[in-house]
Amino acid sequence: MMQFITPVLVALLISLHASAQADYYVEDTLELDTVGSSEADHSIIAVNSFGDVIIVNHTTVGSHSKAVEVNILAPLGSSLADGFKLFNTELLGHPNIQVFGVGNDTCIKPDAEALGDGTFLAVWSRHDLSGTRTSQIEACKIITRDSSGNLLPQIQIIAPQPGEGVIIDNTAIPGEAGFMPDIAAFHNSGSTSAFVVFAHEDGMLRGSTNTFRDYSLIAKRIDWPRGSSSPSILSATTIETDIPFDNQNSMPYSGGMVLPDAVLDDGGNLTVVYESYLIAPHNWHFGPAIGSIQLRRYSQQSLALLDEIEFRGHHQNSHQRRPMIATSNDDARNLVSIGWNDFGISTVSSHRVHFRGVDFNTSTAGHNPPQVVPWDETFGIADDLANVAMSGQAKLIMVSRRLANSNLLMGRFKLPQQPVSYKDFAPANNHPWRPAMAIYDLPSSRSLSYLSYEGPSSSNPLLYSIYFTIQEL
């Protein structure tokens, strides 16, 4: 999900804290505030070319409702030793707007990306808890700097009103999967365009033994110039159809299904990964169930299909879930990295992860054979929530590792002319979970990881908060 960020502001990482007052310094860990009444989860992180960072997540605000919020940090000077300013937590999507009636709204599962002009785009879904209205995808624009690159005294959130975003789509059906829209932004300097990709449920049939579902993927290209109150939808295209996600009724999956993750490669081609699960006799398939991760690449202009690749797990009938994708426009290759989770057919079985790298032709169809990115499983098979990040200098993969009485955020990274390194990125937190990350390149061969994750709240360990940390790789 996260793409690399090229720095234009940072001069040098200095390990000692500067004397100037700041809310955050590199290598510290910060528990972020929430506007919610209890826990916060499902964070996503985005960093622009100035080093400004936003962390967007949803949070519980009532017995059944959630809201989407954002925390924003920006560097206070030309060196990271100057630290970062933390702005007040802001609401993006809130159920009290009551689009669907009193007590019916909930806003969940956001995504965010930096646009090429240095602003940010955030999206989320709003659902009707009563089940009588069609869900919708909303968006807002977040501005941290003026057009000259100066930090604003107050962050600007461009939206119809606090707690309500601009409607990107209100016709697609989330169905049993639930929306989890993803953004693929154009990162060329000055760009204000992006694709928003999401799944639409075409149909569902529940039998005595199995449930059969079919989905489509929709990509909407939008453009949101600075100064505009809302984006223009430049195109809306169904890029994929007949995606099965079936389940055995005796062991159903809960939560999102067919969750797309998308980036734009070096040629601006839309590259998407999503999951699929097929049980006979669906789609004229006969034989054992097939779980897979599907990768598709579409041309920038027409969204015509360029490439398609299927990835399997350790067993054909295992569920392959929650794929993540990353790329960099500053390395010397048109490389994408993907990671995903490999679950046994039983929801209580062991969890494993896979990582792959694929080199594509830049402007035409074609790719080299996918390469396996090694991952150490000597500790046992208990890894979950695989994630990937890339920059011009570094590659980082990370998992949530389940141990007997704790979790780890274990990462594997590679820097130029350096050996592969493994690192626990949250050693002070005994149950970190669900990492979201980006890489920020410093001068020479040094890079920083920007990381947000869930962990037990300091005020109530039974509830989760969102934590944030920047660390040197």
DSSP per-residue string spanning 115-178? -TTS-EEEEEEEEETTS-S--EEEEEEEEEE-TTSPEEEEEEEESSBTTBPEEEESSS--TTT-
Distance of CA 39 to the CA centre of its chain: 19
Matching residue, tokens 């130029």: 416
Q: How far apart are the first and last CA of the chain?
A: 20
What are 151's strand-pairing partners?
Answer: 145
Angle 422-340-218 from CA coordinates, rounded to 5°: 140
For the entire predicted model, the pTM comes to 0.94
Residue of 443, 440, 390 whose CA lies nearest to 414: 390
Pick the CATH number of 29-472 from 2.130.10.10, 2.60.120.10, 2.70.70.10, 1.20.1050.10: 2.130.10.10
At 82, give phi and psi (nearest 5°). Answer: -75, -15
Q: Coil, helix or strand for 81?
A: helix
pLDDT tens across the length of the chain (473 residues): 544 444 444 433 333 344 458 999 999 999 999 999 889 999 999 999 999 999 999 999 988 899 999 999 999 987 878 999 999 999 999 999 999 999 999 999 999 999 999 999 999 999 999 988 999 999 999 999 999 999 999 999 999 999 999 999 999 999 988 889 999 999 899 999 999 999 999 999 999 999 999 999 999 999 999 999 999 999 999 999 999 999 999 887 767 889 999 999 999 999 999 999 999 999 999 999 999 999 999 999 899 999 999 999 999 999 999 999 999 999 989 999 999 999 877 656 678 999 999 999 998 999 999 999 999 887 778 899 999 999 999 999 999 998 888 899 999 999 988 999 999 999 999 899 999 999 999 887 789 999 999 999 999 999 999 999 999 99
Helix, strand and coil in the chain, % to nearest 5:
0, 50, 45
d(CA 80, CA 419): 26
Domain boundary assignment for the chain: 29-472
What are 357's strand-pairing partners?
Answer: 337, 371
Residue of 69, 61, 58 whose CA lies nearest to 98: 61
Residue 132, Cβ density class (10 Å: 0-12 exposed, 13-18 middle, ≥19 buried): exposed
Residue 15, Cβ density class (10 Å: 0-12 exposed, 13-18 middle, ≥19 buried): exposed
Residue of 141, 135, 140, 234 whose CA lies nearest to 176: 135
d(CA 79, CA 60): 37
d(CA 222, CA 181): 14
pLDDT of residue 381: 80
pLDDT of residue 1: 52
How many residues can be counted in the chain? 473
pLDDT of residue 2: 45
d(CA 66, CA 60): 4
Other beta carbons within 10 Å of 31:
16
d(CA 46, CA 183): 11
